[in-house]
Amino acid sequence: MALTSIYVISDTAAAFPELCAGAKQLAGSVTAIVFGDLAAAEAAAGCGADRILFCPVSDAGSPEDYAAAIAAEVKKDASAYVIVNNTILGRAIAGKVGVYLDAAVFSNVSELAEENGRLAFSRTVYGGAAARRIAFTTPYGVVTVGGGTFEMGAPLPATTQIAQIEGEPAAPLNRISRDEKRETAVNLTAARRIVDVGRGLAKEEDLEICRKLASVLDAEVGCSRPVAENNKWLPKNVYMGITGVQVKPDLLLAIGLSGQIQHIGGINKSRFIVAVNKDKSAPIFKSADFGLVGDLYKVLPLLIEKLS
């Protein structure tokens, strides 16, 4: 038995195809909620949703302003679940929509399935040490889902049913200014190859050697949380793990990474993991398909030379 209806909300167009493909495997009807005008909705038409509703956010407004309108739309179905892209803005939207639906909200869930007509899912708990299986008991519920959670499957037909959402935005706040963040536009969830940098790197300048390796492999560069959060050597949107991005590339090279469970939670869906660590008892070797015990400063130049 499939769920009746799922609403897919995303603040980034790139996330729709995967989220809608996953939703389509779970529910009879999938509605994508796009923040933008008709042109933005039409651009998203290849996402595979049965219909698209667009919310024309004004320059001074925010996507969350449509939370009440979205909830009112969701409540037109006797039962429906909402899947939101797991970004900072996505989590804010999820919270507000959950309030208007009077429903529970869970962030960063995986392994979504229908169970007894309700949405069920897994969620990492105790800092990554365990996974908890949860099922809604209510007809409505909201979850956020990171990239790499669903399989894409075959391309779905383009959505022809496109309309503006009913209801007006309601803004309790005035935006005073907006400053663009200088972060690299890396989409790790879509990357086929990733060079994953850990704290084994001695200094920021040494990132260059990892970038060189990435360049010869045509890979993206990501990292562990301390490299982004503590050292601030790479932007926060490229650290992987249970609180970061979840990826599933064909190849991931873990360089100078210990392989703590919180990081593994973000990379364990990679098809092939190669680890380089100078400590032969580092836990990363338990998750790696191929392990190289050695100093990254000796191993990487050799790898680059061989692969160039």
State how far the alpha carbon of 232 is from the alpha carbons of 93, 184, 236, in Å: 27, 13, 8
Q: Are 231 and 207 in contact (CB under 8 A)?
A: no
Q: Which is nearer to ligand FAD, 8 or 227 (CB)?
A: 227
297 in contact with ligand FAD (CB under 6 A): yes
Judged by CB, which is closer to ligand FAD: 190, or 261? 261
**Which range in 2-10, 39-47, 112-120, 194-202 contacts ligand FAD by CB under 6 A?**
194-202
Residue 266 in contact with ligand FAD, rule: CB under 6 A: yes
Give the amino acid at 171. A
Chain residue at closest Cβ approach to ligand FAD: 241
Q: First vs last Cα of the chain: how many Å apart?
A: 52
Rank residues 48 and 244 by Cβ distance to ligand FAD and give the closer one.
Answer: 244
Given 29, 171, 278, 304, the residue binding ligand FAD (CB under 6 A): 278
279 binds ligand FAD (CB under 6 A): yes
Main-chain dihedrals φ then ψ at residue 181, nearest 5 degrees: -85, 135
Binding-residue total with ligand FAD (CB under 6 A): 28
Asked if 105 and 81 touch (Cβ cutoff 8 Å), the reply is no
Token digits for 114? 């229908």
- Sign for the CA dihedral angle at 29, 89, 18, 142 comes to negative
| Binder of ligand FAD out of 85, 144, 260, 287 (CB under 6 A) | 260
**Tokens 């990292």, residue located:** 223
Q: Which of 29, 187, 258, 268 binds ligand FAD (CB under 6 A)?
A: 258
Shortest distance, position 88 Cβ to ligand FAD, whole Å: 14
What residues have CB less than 8 Å from 199, skipping those under 6 apart?
Answer: 224, 226, 227, 231, 256, 257, 258
Residue 270 touching ligand FAD (CB under 6 A)? no
DSSP 240: B
3-state class (DSSP) for residue 40:
helix
Per rule CB under 6 A, is residue 100 in the interface with ligand FAD?
Answer: no
Nearest to 269 by CA among 153, 186, 148: 148
- Residue 209 in contact with ligand FAD, rule: CB under 6 A: no
CA–CA gap between residue 70 and residue 53 (Å, rounded): 9
CA distance 293 to 275: 8
Q: Assess 25 for contact with ligand FAD (CB under 6 A).
A: no
Q: Is 295 in the site for ligand FAD (CB under 6 A)?
A: yes
Pattern 107-146, binding to ligand FAD, x per CB under 6 A? --------------------x-------------------
Minimum CB separation of residue 95 from ligand FAD in Å reads 20
**Interacting residues with ligand FAD (CB under 6 A):** 127, 198-200, 224-227, 239, 241-244, 256-258, 260, 262-263, 266, 276-279, 282, 295-297
